[in-house]
Structure formats: structure tokens, C-alpha cells
Amino acid sequence: MKLLMLPGDGIGPEISDASRKVLDAAQAQFGFPLEYEEDEIGFSSLERYGTTIRDDLIATAMAVDGVILGPVSHNEYPPIEEGGLNPSGVFRKQLDLYANIRPAKSRSGIATPTGRPMDLVIVRENTEGFYADRTMVTGTGEFMPTEDLAMAIRKVTKKGSRRIVEQAFALAARRRQKVTTVHKANVLRVSDGLFLEQARAVASSHPSIEYEEELVDAMAAHLIRSPDRFDVIVTTNMFGDILSDEASELSGGLGLAASLNAGTDYAVAQAQHGSAPDIAGKGIANPVSLILSVAMLLDWLGARRADERLNHAARIIEQAVDATLEDPSARTPDLGGNGSTDKFAAETARRVTDLRP
């Protein structure tokens, strides 16, 4: 198994190194084959190659078994015509990573804003919607007919809607057997109406899984009031982007929030948070999000290959992270501790080794 490591910008190299230490411990414990290929992306790639993501890097990503992508500072990049592409968006489009899977789970010893327990997953459509880089073959989905008028096109297709809902039901079958579709079809009657139509069609073919629907504005409130009601939530791109950030903050913060971008053939593990350049190089970056994202990648690969070693390793990594989070001396400062990135990684790797396969 070969993984492509792309450390990225800001704290990316630090948390990528931490994730690799934990992954190496899991490999040693469970005995699955593992090798890495590392390359540049983001500002370092821009400086060397004139672009934040090279075309040949996409080919490399297609040739390996999975990608570990560190955070990128895409908001700080120059215009696209000067090489400032968003690597995350390029991967999602070029590899057809249509599912952005984002768990939101409260962790022992970590305070949450509401004090309510959470264990849910938001399955977000990743290739359509209002996102300008994913709506058109040529150009973007935003335009200005006049200098005082800006417009945006939203793309929703039957195929895109159906396959993301199928992904949600497949995930629910492995969890607590419940899917909630989030929409705004009472206003966006055509586009969200199409999405909702496909969700209902998929639900009808999975009678053993509980199904419900919520309006997006009501859902934002329900996540605060009663998050324990929900198991798997599926929705369109922009709604999922917003709700997953809300859910992650309610479960303890983006620093604890894993994320996997997955398609039929490829998957990219990526932390939910940004590159945090203000703390880069200080050794205090919280690596949990990327470590848990790597665990999700292992689980995805295990399911594809029917390799229980990878699925078991994913579970052990999550258990090891939880155990390390219970130790205040190992937590990074953002989590109220006085530990470092390296210490958290070392303690988590040790626990992966100590936990029985």
C-alpha cells in the first residue's frame, strides 16, 4: 500500500509528520504493507514550479492507494492565472471525490459548548452546488453582467444527488441505521426539489433504515438543541459545508474534526481546519484532526480491499487518540493542555502499540 503525503502550508508539515508517526505505529502493530511518496503542494510548490498543484501530481494521486493532504492556505494564494489553484478543490474535481464525510463526535475530557454528547456524521455532496470551481466545464459559476450585479449558478444533478444519498445510507447501515436529509426545497423548489426527490427514491429502497427530512435552518437549531437525535446527515454542498463546521464546533472544535473526501476509486484524508500560519513552527499545533482523517482513510481502504487489518487499525487509532486526549499533559494548548505536537503524536503512537489488535 502506497500513500501520497502532501504536507501543505502553515502547520501542515508538523501535523503531517505527527500523523505519519501514528500511522507507522499502526503499521507495525497490524502488519499491513505501507510505503510513502512525499511531494510538494501549496506555497512551496508555487515557489518551485509556479503553481500550487502540478498536473503530474494528479496523475501520481491516481496511481497510489490514497492521499494524505495537509491544510493549505488557499485564501492567501495569488489569482488562478498566476498559479494560485486551491489544491483541495482540484483534487475533488479531478478525482471525482463526490463525498465529503465529516464525523462530529464529542470526546472524553474535552468540554463542548452545550455539554451535550454528539456522535453523528455529515455526508456532504462535494462536486456540485454553488461552489464556482465545480459547476462549469469552462469558467466558473459566478459572473457579473454589470458592475453592480453579481450572480451565481447552482448545479444539482440526479446522478450527483443519488450517489451522495446512497453513500449516506451505506454509512448508516454500519452505524445506527438512521439517515436525515437536509434541504430547502420549500424555497429552492427546483434544485433542492431534485435533490429531495432522489433522496426519497434511495430511502424507499432501504426500508430497514429510518429516514427523515429537515429544513436546513431548522437543522442548524436542532444540532444545538438535540444533536443526539441524529446519526447520518446528508445534504448538498454548501449546506453541508456550513452544518459540518457547526457540528464540529459543538462537538469540541475543528481541531478534533476528521474529514475524508472519497469517490468511487480515490480518497483523500484532509483535516477540517486551516493552515494556522500564526502558530506554524512553534510545535504546538493540534494534530488530532489529521490523525483521525488518516484513520478514516485506512477504514475506507479496508472496506474496499476487505482487509480487516486496516479497519481494525482505524478503530485502534481512534481509541488511542481518545486515550491521549484524556491526559491533559499531552493535549496541545488549544485543548487546554501544555503538550506539544510531537508529544501528542508520540503518546498516541505508544497507545496504538499498547492496545491489543
Strand 99-105 relative to strand 260-262, pairing: antiparallel
CA distance 213 to 178: 11
Active site includes 77? no
Active site includes 282? no
Say which residues have a Cβ less than 8 Å from residue 22's Cβ, sequence separation at least 6. Answer: 291, 294, 317, 320, 345, 348, 349, 352
The burial class, CB within 10 Å (0-12 / 13-18 / 19+), for 329 is exposed
The burial class, CB within 10 Å (0-12 / 13-18 / 19+), for 146 is exposed
| The three cell numbers locating residue 202 | 434511495
User: Residue 7 corresponds to which amino acid?
Assistant: P
CA distance 85 to 54: 10
User: H or E stretch including 16?
Assistant: helix 12-30
CA distance 230 to 105: 11
Q: Which residue among the candidates 24, 96, 245, 327 is catalytic per the annotation? A: 245
Q: Which residue among the candidates 184, 231, 299, 322 is catalytic per the annotation? A: 184
Active site includes 241? yes
Active site includes 327? no
Active site includes 148? no
Q: Which residue among the candidates 9, 241, 299, 322 is catalytic per the annotation? A: 241
Q: Which residue among the candidates 131, 192, 231, 343 is catalytic per the annotation? A: 131
Q: Which residue among the candidates 56, 217, 228, 354 is catalytic per the annotation? A: 217
Q: In 3D, which of 288, 325, 260 has the Cα closest to residue 14?
A: 288
Give the residue numbers marked as catalytic. 131, 184, 217, 241, 245
